[in-house]
Structure formats: structure tokens, C-alpha cells
Chains A and B, each alone.
Chain A
Amino acid sequence: MSARDDVLAAVRAALGPERRPAVEVDRAYRGRDPLPAGAGVVDLFVERVEDYRATVTRCTAADLVDAVAQALGGAARVVVPDGLDLDVPGAVPDDALTATALDAVDAVVTRATLGIAETGTVVLDHGPGQGRRALSLVPDLHVCVVEAGQVVRGVTDAVARLDPVRPQTWVSGPSATSDIELDRVEGVHGPRRLHVVLVEG
């Protein structure tokens, strides 16, 4: 017998021959408001992203290009994904760059799929303007542009909106470790700095 047959047979033997009715899963938690009383979604998002020691800039659509340039600081070479609709100083288009080539750029600018207020998370599904997964991973600074309208309340709302077959990256603050005596250290393998530019109005 193949390993597949053996494992499936063992599962069936373990569960027994009788018909097993479905287990009811109650979903009462869905649609419940996870926001603390009085907090606005966007304000909470900003507060929670900053809680992760990421930087947030709030701007209007008209100021966006300037805000991104500011966020990039002195970054000389900035990789930009296909479909990014922004003028970025020092832009290096993603021309199927190798990992080693990516390692030589200073920063990346992407858009996001959504932001989660409750947890201070940005989610990328790597569609247009977000690039393949390696782009927002290898460079040291990630500038991520999020529209206020993309911010949802909590994880439940986020999961309900996301496409399960697209690759996704959920990012909450810069890369971090607490493996050495539980002291939190930012910047291990992913970007050492995360800068969220939030576009309102």
C-alpha cells in the first residue's frame, strides 16, 4: 500500500465506521466591533502601527509624492514594483532583479491591499503596485502606502476580504526578534524600518 493509502486508512480506522455529523461552528464573534469605544478606525490604525515602532506619515492625495520622498530620506536606489502609480526619486524598476541585486538597493515603495486597525497590520497580496514578495522583503526600508479607505477594523474583516489563492504578506512593524533574553530587537532579516504613508481625503 502507498503511504497515502496507509495514512488515509489509519485516519478512517481511528474515527470508526459510523457516520459522523458535521460539528457546528458558531460564528457569533463575526461582525462584532473590535474597536475600543470612541476610537476611529484610522486613528486606531495609526496608533497601533506606531506601537510596533514603525513610522507613520499622514498626508492628502495631493501631498503623497512628497510624503513618499520624505519617507525615503536619503535612500539612493529604490526598487519600485510593476504598476506603482507614483513618482519615486531614485526609482529602480523591478526587472526580474535577482535576490543579490535586490540586496544592493536601499528601499522599496509599495501599495497595500488593506490595513487592519485593531492589530496595526498592513496586508499585501502582491497585486499591481505591490510587487512580488521578495521586493518588500530584502531592502532595508519598506515604505508602504495605505489609503484610509483600505483600513478595516479587525482581523475578521480582513480575512473576509482577502483572496485565499493570492500569496499574501501580513506586516506588523519591522522585522523583530525577542530570542535573546526576551529583549526585543528590531531588524533581523526583513526590512529594519517600516514607514507607513497613510493617504486621507
Chain B
Amino acid sequence: MGATFVGMPPFPEAARTALADTRLRRNLGHATATIRAKRAAVVAELDDWEDLRRQAAAVKDETLTHLDEHLLTLEAALTERGAIVHWARDAADACAVVAEVARAHGIDEVVKVKSMATQEIGLNEALAARGIAAWETDLAELIVQLGDDLPSHILVPAIHRGRSEIREIFRTRMAAAGRPAPDDLTDDPAALAGAARLHLREKFLAARMAVSGANFAVAETGTLVVVESEGNGRMCLTLPEVLVSVVGIEKVVPTYADLDLFLRLLPRSSTGERMNPYTSTWAGVTPGDGPQEVHVVLLDNGRTRALADEYARQVLRCIRCSACLNVCPVYERVGGHAYGSVYPGPIGAILNPLLKGVGSDPVTDSLPYASTLCGACGDVCPVAIDIPGILVHERVKVVDAHRGDRPKAEALAMRAAAWGLGEAGRMALGEKVSGLVGRLPRRRGMPGGRGALSWLPFPGSRWTGARDLPTPPVESFRAWWRRAGRDEEVRR
């Protein structure tokens, strides 16, 4: 059940496929431009935005600097409030805990609140392998799940789908998962949301167990926070008997008072609203209200690996608002799938290598290069993560990890270039040749009216495979100097 990112091609290959999909580019362009404008308008309402960012970064830095202490405080507070705390080194640990809770209650069906952490650990697939069905209840996640598809955005995972595709998915796939779509279903968004409401309400009313993540976990009081819009989160957090929340260890904030910052920064950065429609908080078990058995799984899964990098650990400040995706020119053109991970866009390009480490997986190693380094992501980030700086830092790590490898064609081309540029005579020779190349027919123009070559023979194809090469001028500088110089002399 469910598609998986495993086995995805590295970014340049995936990006080429995505770029050829014009509908995807149109949907994405519209969506990111809309969210960008909304965000800019509500951010402009606050004249202390920069202060808030700086202070939120400081709160997160405090959390990370003393993470062991804050985690122990959180564990104690949760336990005192009647929650059962589990720890998970990795995805396998975490999935096993959730499955074990379900098994102990004889439960074979759970409802889920949209959560990046549970996607990261592949929980749905792990539960399916143990005979437990996990139903996504966020509308976009439902579209992705029913379509046997992959999420392509942190906030709006089905952003790559148009309304007629969604109608088709509901019409053909809903029945197998429960209540079928109405026969007269149109592609009007309200009608589609209505079909999801009826389909999922059956599940909410019957569900005995829910799985969620958390946006924040307050160490001091054991308060967990889930921020959402549709009310599916509230349904899952409130109606079932048993609730399991999978929480990354970086989600901790030290005190309840710290939440004011994040509840101002997150909705504005994320959906471009002053506040999201629903925020739920709970601390352990409340007698007579909500689930009477509450579990919290504290998840590492690479976070301590990221923490060990003293410079790049700031990536763990991330509150998954997705603002960096919406401003990224690369993301806007290729979409989320090309990143081969549940974390796409600029944050994915740094978070994946930091969580997984570099040097063994070509998809992960390609991600730090999936950027123009334009800097828009760093400017927009509400917790002031230096995303461009970390991209460069991770590129260095990727290069270091491959130092001992057999040289690649691109490296050979670079070495040849270094030799060619290394001495005046060789360079003059090269320029004569490039002057010839410059007279070759040009396939495309570049910005500024400059000609460009989009194809060179090997090993030059390693470069032109992903970029255009500006055509060299028809005349080399040396040739021009000789000619113009002679002219000068003649004129004198």
C-alpha cells in the first residue's frame, strides 16, 4: 500500500522528467505564487517580524544546545500527566512501537493526522506489512494515498494534482477504502471536499486508535500542539480511545511561554494566514475528555547526526512551514517529487543529507546541488536557518565523501579545462578552437540575448546535460587585441 520514494533517480534526472510536465509546472507556478503573495501580505502586518525570527531562532538554539536536558524534562512531564513515553532510534523502532500499541488493543485500522515524521519513517507501509490499515485524513494526504501517489509539498502534498484528476481518483478509488464517492461527483472543489467529508466521517466515528505527529512539544508541561485547518486533526486527537504521537526530538520547546512566538510565525509563514483555523493542545490524559490512553514516541532517526554538525545543526530549528519551498525557483519548476523525499525543496536539500549522511546514496548526494543559491529560502525562513550556507557546506561534505572515488567524467572535463587554461600558449590554442565553436549554429538564447549551446559531445555533455553553455564569442580576446592593437598602431 502506498508508493515510496525508495529507488528514485537522483535530482538531475528526476528534474528533467518533471520539467517536461507542463501541467505540473502550471499548477505549481500558480500555487506557489498565490501562497507567496498571501504570506507577504500577512507578514507585512507585523513590524517586528525580524525580531520574532531572531528570537524564535534563539529559542530553538537553546532547545538544541541542551536537548538532552529538555528531553528528560519532557519525558517526566508527559509521564506525570499520564502519557506513556517511548524512544525510537530509527524508523524501525518507531514503527514497531506504533504497531505494538495497535496489536495490544487488537486494532487493525488507524486514522492519521497529517504528519511529516510518520511519513519520514514510512509508517503506513510498515503498518500495512503487519496487517494494519492506516488512513490519512488530511484531504491532500487522502488524495495522495488514494491515488497511490507521493506527496510533493510539505503543506499541500497534492499541489501537483488538478481538480479533474482528483475527481477521477475519488471516483475510482474511494470505494475500495470505505464509503464510495457520490455518483454525481463533479470537479468543483466544494463537492470534492464534501465527498471527502462523508468518506472520512465514517472512519472518524468508527476509529479506535489515531496516530499523529506534533508541531511542538513543551518540555516543562508535557503539552503537545497540533496546528491544522480542516478539523481532521481534532477528530483524530479527540474521538479515538488510543492516541500515539510520533514526535521528532527537535520539536521540543523549553517552556509553554515559548509558544507565543511560534504561533505567530508558523501560520503566517505557512498558509499565509494570521492564524490557522484549528490549533489543538493537550498534556497527557484528560479524564472524561479525549483518548484515555496516550503514547508519545520520541524519534531520533538521524536527528542526532544532524545535531553533531555544529554549524548545520540549525537545520533542526525548522518548523516545517514550507515557506522556503514556495519561494524557491528550482522547486517551482521541478516540483517536490524530484527531491526523492518527503522533505522537498530547499529544506529537503539540506535536511535529507544531514539526517542520512552523505557518501552512500546518489539521490541524497545530489540534493545539495538542487539549488541556484539565490538566497530566497534563507530570507523567508521564519527561524532564520542559513539554508544557502548549509547547501554549500553540504556540497563540501559530498565532495569530501567522494575523494577516493574513481574520477567521474565531469571531473575529467574539469581537469582538462584546468590544463587548457593553465598556460598562455595552450589557452591561445583553445581560444582558436572555441572561436570556431562560436560560429556553430546556436540552438537557444540565454537571458541578455546571448547565444547558447544546449548540447556538446562527451565529455562536454556532462555539463550541457543539465545546463546551457553560453557560446564563446566568435573572436577570441587575443585575436581581437592583435587586430585592434594593429589598427591602433596604424592609426597612430
Interface residues of A (CB under 8 A from B): 2-4, 6-8, 10-15, 20, 22-30, 32, 34, 48, 52, 96, 99-100, 103, 116, 118-121, 126, 132-134, 137, 154-156, 158-160, 162, 164-183, 185, 187-191
Contacts and interface: CB of A to CB of B under 8 A. Distances in A.
B429 interface: no
Contacts of A134: 238-239, 289-290
Nearest to A48: B274
10 tightest A-B CB contacts, nearest first? A190-B231, A23-B62, A10-B304, A189-B231, A119-B275, A14-B308, A170-B279, A164-B256, A132-B289, A14-B307
B277 A171 contact: yes
14 contacts: A11-B307, A15-B67, A15-B68, A29-B52, A48-B274, A133-B238, A133-B280, A164-B218, A172-B275, A175-B230, A177-B229, A182-B159, A189-B204, A190-B278
Contacts of B271: 178
B274 A179 contact: no
Contacts of A28: 48, 51, 55
Given A179-B143, A183-B189, A188-B193, A11 B71 contact: yes
A188 B48 contact: no
B298 interface: yes
A136 to B, nearest CB: 9
Interface of B: 27, 30-31, 34-35, 46, 48, 51-52, 54-55, 58-59, 61-62, 65-68, 71-72, 81, 86-89, 93, 137-140, 143, 156, 158-159, 162-163, 166, 189-190, 192-193, 196-197, 200-201, 204-205, 218, 220-223, 229-232, 234-235, 237-239, 249, 256-261, 263-264, 271, 273-284, 286, 288-290, 298, 300, 304-305, 307-308, 313
Nearest to A1: B89
B256 A173 contact: no
A13 B51 CA distance: 32
Contacts of B218: 164
Given A11-B249, A23-B58, A181-B27, A119 B162 contact: no
A173 B264 CA distance: 17
B232 to A, nearest CB: 5
A126 to B, nearest CB: 6
A7 B232 CA distance: 32
A172 B65 CA distance: 34
A99 B166 CA distance: 29
Nearest to B255: A164
B230 A176 contact: yes
A51 B369 CA distance: 42
Given A164-B281, A170-B280, A188-B197, 8 more contacts: A11-B71, A15-B67, A134-B289, A179-B138, A180-B158, A180-B192, A189-B234, A190-B231
Contact of A7 (B46, B89, B140): B89
Contacts of A172: 273-278
A189 B235 contact: yes
Nearest to B63: A23
Nearest to A20: B65
Contacts of B308: 13-14
A177 B197 CA distance: 11
Contact of A176 (B66, B88, B197, B277): B277
B162 A181 contact: yes
A25 B55 contact: yes
Nearest to B90: A3
A188 to B, nearest CB: 4
B139 A2 contact: no
Given A169-B279, A177-B139, A179-B140, A187 B193 contact: yes
A116 B232 CA distance: 23
Nearest to A24: B58
A24 B229 CA distance: 33
B27 A3 contact: no
Nearest to B254: A25
Contacts of A29: 48, 51-52, 55, 261
Given A165-B283, A189-B231, A25 B58 contact: yes
Contacts of A121: 275
Contact of A182 (B62, B156, B200, B235): B156
B264 A103 contact: no
A172 B268 CA distance: 13
A154 to B, nearest CB: 8
A189 B232 contact: yes
B289 A187 contact: no
B193 A177 contact: yes
A162 B221 CA distance: 12
Nearest to A165: B283
Contacts of B71: 7-8, 11
B279 A167 contact: no
Contact of B230 (A120, A154, A190): A190
A88 B163 CA distance: 42
B143 to A, nearest CB: 7
Contact of B67 (A11, A181, A188): A11
A131 to B, nearest CB: 9
Nearest to A125: B281
A117 to B, nearest CB: 10
B329 to A, nearest CB: 19
B307 A173 contact: no
Contacts of A187: 193, 197
A133 B234 contact: yes
A172 B374 CA distance: 35
Contacts of B277: 52, 171-176, 190
Contacts of B205: 99-100, 103
B232 A188 contact: yes
Contacts of A30: 260
B55 A27 contact: yes
Nearest to B141: A179
A101 to B, nearest CB: 10
B55 A189 contact: no
A178 B68 contact: no
Nearest to A170: B279
Contacts of B140: 177, 179
A188 B196 contact: yes
Contacts of B275: 116, 119-121, 155, 170, 172
A201 B68 CA distance: 51
B65 A15 contact: yes
